[in-house]
Structure 1
Amino acid sequence: MNKTNNVKDIFTFGFALFAMFFGAGNLIFPPYLGILSGEKWFTAFAGFTFADAGLALLAVIAIALCHGQIMELFGRIGRIPAILLSLADIMCVGPLLVIPRTGATTYEMGIVPLVGDVPIIIVVIIFFALTFALTVKPSKVIDIVGQFLTPVLIIALSIIIIKGVVSPIGDISSNVLIDNVFQRGILDGYQTMDCFVSIAVGGVLMLTLMNKGYSEPKEQVKMLVKAGVIACIGLGLIYGGLTYLGATVSTVYGQDVQQSIVIVKITEALLGNTGKIVLALAVSLACLTTSIGLTSATADYVSMITKNKINYTYSVLFTCIFAAGAATMGVSGLVKIANPILAIVYPPTIVLIILAFFKEKIKNDNIYKGAVLFSIIISVLTLASTKYAGLEFVNSLPLAPYGFNWVVPAVIGGIIGKFIPGKNSNTVEAAN
């Protein structure tokens, strides 16, 4: 392949990955994280970027190693567990959390700042009616708008960030409002769920690469690594700037500030009413394109696992109706619901992503099962420890201060599984 074309493809695909990962929801968490962390904003940013961009990149590579097949990634833990865990991941980026958040974000960041308080139910009904219509009958207009919006959003954010760095709104507070800054960054990084997005659209990514002539698995992985580095650098710069901007208003706002409104207030302070209007419009349209893309991916997955017993159209309809109802809880309400769900679902998913890099060498499926089982057990106990004092020992496990107390138990579970005879298979029954 021509070297010049190869370099061009790396940058083209890198920007495509950036656009895929960077949704309007990613604007919400870094500025608020900056407010909470104050002078320790860089530590918080590092945790956030690792859990968001870092894990998303690992997931992209893992799904490439599994030939773009979701069930090949999850299948080694058994057919039923694979369906349950993959379904949980897809539902998180589907009607349960991320899709509703696009509607709630549109209301809080796009509608309220421009027209004031209106009933949220009216906004989300219109929003998801448009999502349904444009997902069932896809239009090239959406692709054009999506391709146009990402550069506009990046340019707008770059102007806001540069302005905020050159002329900070205020001093950075020395009062840190949270105990473990890095761990909070990790947890907020989970909230973006870009790792799950990578899994959901893995098949599309692989098809795009093959259409560009990258048919060999090694070629595909190399391309994804190089393109992923470009995407992660871009995300890191944006996240770093947004977290810093949040830190510059840490003496103005506290923990009780509405998360979704922080970047709106910052933009208004830096660029006036015009900047606020541009941001609101760009975010609203970006939310719509994100909602359409994720609704389509969810419907495809549901059709696949039910062998088309629930067809694409009905799946889209159910997703839109459920998401509209969930969106009425608002961004903060959805974040509260997401925290315990993600605390349980993320660890076993990360385990499977890491094991995908060694799938050709690991022959015993019980290694997968043991590692996943132990990670889930520790995650459930960690969640329960907030209510039951007798379970606080889980917070003393290695890597607990960084939010990874499940890692060592997962390794132990995998080792135990190695010594339990099992079916040696690289074939995924769940995909059949």
Structure 2
Amino acid sequence: METEKHDGSGAAASRGGLAPRQTLFVGITLFSMFFGAGNLILPPLLGVQAGREVLPALVGFFVTGVGLPVLGIVAVALSGTLRELAARVHPLFSRFFVALVYLAIGPCLAIPRTASTAFEMLSPLLGDAVSPEVARLVFSVAFFALAYVLAMHPGRLTRLLGRFTGPALILLIVAVVGAALASLLGVDSLPDVAPVSPYDGSPAVQGFLTGYQTMDLLASLTFGIVIAENIRSLGVTESGGVMREVCRAGVIAGVLMMAVYGGLAAVGFELSAQLAGATNGAAVITASATSHFGLVGTVVVAAIFLLACLNVCIGLISCCGTYFAGELPRVSYRACAIAFAAFSCAVSNLGLDAILSFSATLLGILYPPAIVLVLMGMLRRVFGRAPAAWPLTVLVTVVVSAVTGLRDALAPSLALPLDLLPLSDVGLGWVLPALLTAALTVIVSGLCGPGRPRNQKGPIS
């Protein structure tokens, strides 16, 4: 190990690894990057709808909501950037796929969801005299106007909001989860509520599919290089050391996410009998806070969610605006930010339920190739010797997931030959074709001689 050197804060960091305190700091930073309001609304709804099957549903959710995002961080760190990882398929695919990822974590889903989630938390305070449609329109216009202004000059205000909303939101979660757990431990028997759709069939598989809607795997594909650069800035210069610290940060972030998700699922499970018809987790959290803390709980939940959602919205508008302004040289950052804010405002008025329904279709198409890319990136030494495996495997995955996803959205009663594939009845028909394509191309490449590696070297290889 190299001689120690000190960072600006006086903490010792070696070139081969970080001090334990710094490793913890990087892990918490990564957790904070993942942790948004959208992550709060899915586990409580899972707890309500899964009922007595909450544990297998939660395990499936952990795979896509925690495990795959952590692997995504590592896979991108190994490759260098998301564009370099996707370029192993084809440079044109790389540009198209990266743009889709930014659109999904931006104006198409995640940005509108911030306003819709914030409004859902405020709506119980409006009373029956106010029209929900009018209130939603007025709120969304004001919300995105403020977000746009702050995205132009985020500066100290967004840092202040981040420092305030992060700890406050964690304290709120601890309070609500603690009250729910105390209530569950104080009864003679746990709720025995039968699971409802969509968890009444295969709860573990449905939990896996629900994890798509966290969008954390897509977000992780843009986070890997950021975390690697932060680790280098702390003094770790050896590629092996950076890789180890990325993995450690991922483990810390993963443990924190599992704790939060498990606690929030318990909140929903406690109310599984009373809220059997719930359709979004925001209403579940509000109901739990209100039942345990009264009107004060409702007000605190609404205020903190508003600030948290606003902060996330500012960051996403800034991130997506910066990316597309760089991709479209004739379009300014300001123009991109205005366009994303206006489009997101319109989408948010569809309501949180509609956004979550639409996101299931889009993410059902986008997630399978993202999963394939991450897993192949983790096994890059194997697939580096079979460059044809990248385009062929991803192509097969995209075709199966896109065709079935569009069918499910536009003509759900239409029968397709792809329905005969194993696991197609649970939305995973792409798995076997992807596995067979990857295996066959690797075998053929081995029989025909080693292929020329495609983008084999990255900054952490």
Deviation at residue 243 of structure 1 after TM alignment = 0.9
Please say if residues 108 and 260 of structure 1, whose CA atoms lie closer than 8 Å, have aligned partners that are also in contact. yes
Query: What is residue 194 of structure 2 aligned with on the other side?
Result: 175
Moved more, 205-214 or 330-339: 205-214
Q: Output one character per residue of 1:206-250: Cα deviation in whole Å (capped at 9) or x when no partner.
A: 332222122333222211211221111111111111112211211
Deviation at residue 138 of structure 1 after TM alignment = 2.0
Q: Output one character per residue of 1:36-67: Cα deviation in whole Å (capped at 9) or x when no partner.
A: 11011111111112211111111111121122
Candidates 104, 107, 126, aligned match of 2:116: 104
TM-score (norm 2): 0.85
Aligned partner of 2:85: which letter?
L
Moved more, 172-181 or 366-375: 172-181
- Mapped partners of 2:289, 2:75: distance in 1: 37
Alignment pair present for 1:413 and 2:437: yes
Deviation at residue 401 of structure 1 after TM alignment = 7.2
Deviation at residue 257 of structure 1 after TM alignment = 4.2
Query: What is residue 320 of structure 1 aligned with on the other side?
Result: 341
- Mapped partners of 1:359, 1:274: distance in 2: 53
Closer, same or farther in 2 for the Cα pair 1:217/1:135, shift >3 Å?
farther
Within a 5 Å distance, the mapping from 1:18-417 to structure 2 comes to 18-67=31-80, 69-109=81-121, 111-116=122-127, 117=132, 119-168=135-184, 172-177=191-196, 178-306=200-328, 308-361=329-382, 362-383=384-405, 384=407, 386-391=412-417, 393-394=419-420, 396-397=421-422, 403-417=427-441
Deviation at residue 70 of structure 1 after TM alignment = 2.2
- Mapped partners of 2:211, 2:435: distance in 1: 23
Q: Output one character per residue of 1:270-318: Cα deviation in whole Å (capped at 9) or x when no partner.
A: 1211122111111111111111111222122213333x33332222111
Indicate the percent of aligned positions where both proteins have the same amino acid: 28
Query: What is residue 15 of structure 1 aligned with on the other side?
Result: 28
For structure 1, list consecutive stretches of 5 or more residues without a partner in the other structure.
none
Moved more, 111-120 or 405-414: 111-120
Deviation at residue 14 of structure 1 after TM alignment = 1.2
Deviation at residue 3 of structure 1 after TM alignment = 6.9
Secondary structure at the counterpart of residue 252 of structure 1: coil
- Mapped partners of 1:340, 1:75: distance in 2: 25
Secondary structure at the counterpart of residue 19 of structure 2: helix
Please say if residues 38 and 174 of structure 1, whose CA atoms lie closer than 8 Å, have aligned partners that are also in contact. yes
- Mapped partners of 2:180, 2:32: distance in 1: 23
Aligned partner of 1:140: which letter?
R
- Mapped partners of 2:280, 2:154: distance in 1: 34
Please say if residues 48 and 188 of structure 1, whose CA atoms lie closer than 8 Å, have aligned partners that are also in contact. yes
TM-score (norm 1): 0.91
Please say if residues 348 and 372 of structure 1, whose CA atoms lie closer than 8 Å, have aligned partners that are also in contact. yes
RMSD of the TM alignment (CA)?
2.4
- Mapped partners of 2:415, 2:222: distance in 1: 37
Secondary structure at the counterpart of residue 87 of structure 2: helix
Aligned partner of 1:48: which letter?
F
Please say if residues 40 and 281 of structure 2, whose CA atoms lie closer than 8 Å, have aligned partners that are also in contact. no
- Mapped partners of 2:210, 2:359: distance in 1: 10
- Mapped partners of 1:113, 1:246: distance in 2: 18
Deviation at residue 75 of structure 1 after TM alignment = 0.7
Deviation at residue 406 of structure 1 after TM alignment = 2.1
Q: Output one character per residue of 1:77-109: Cα deviation in whole Å (capped at 9) or x when no partner.
A: 112222222211111101000011001111111
Query: What is residue 454 of structure 2 aligned with on the other side?
Result: 425
Closer, same or farther in 2 for the Cα pair 1:390/1:138, shift >3 Å?
closer
Moved more, 31-40 or 133-142: 133-142
Q: Output one character per residue of 1:379-426: Cα deviation in whole Å (capped at 9) or x when no partner.
A: 2344336432344634x51x5577544223112222444547986431
Secondary structure at the counterpart of residue 83 of structure 1: helix
Query: What is residue 7 of structure 2 aligned with on the other side?
Result: none
Please say if residues 42 and 240 of structure 1, whose CA atoms lie closer than 8 Å, have aligned partners that are also in contact. no
Q: Output one character per residue of 1:238-271: Cα deviation in whole Å (capped at 9) or x when no partner.
A: 1111112211211112235444211101111112
Aligned partner of 2:379: which letter?
F
- Mapped partners of 1:83, 1:367: distance in 2: 19
Q: Output one character per residue of 1:182-203: Cα deviation in whole Å (capped at 9) or x when no partner.
A: 1221122110101111223444
Query: Which structure has the bigger radius of gyration?
Result: 2
Q: Output one character per residue of 1:330-374: Cα deviation in whole Å (capped at 9) or x when no partner.
A: 111111111111111101111111112233551443210111011
- Mapped partners of 1:415, 1:54: distance in 2: 23
Please say if residues 43 and 281 of structure 2, whose CA atoms lie closer than 8 Å, have aligned partners that are also in contact. no
Please say if residues 344 and 380 of structure 1, whose CA atoms lie closer than 8 Å, have aligned partners that are also in contact. yes
Query: What is residue 8 of structure 2 aligned with on the other side?
Result: none
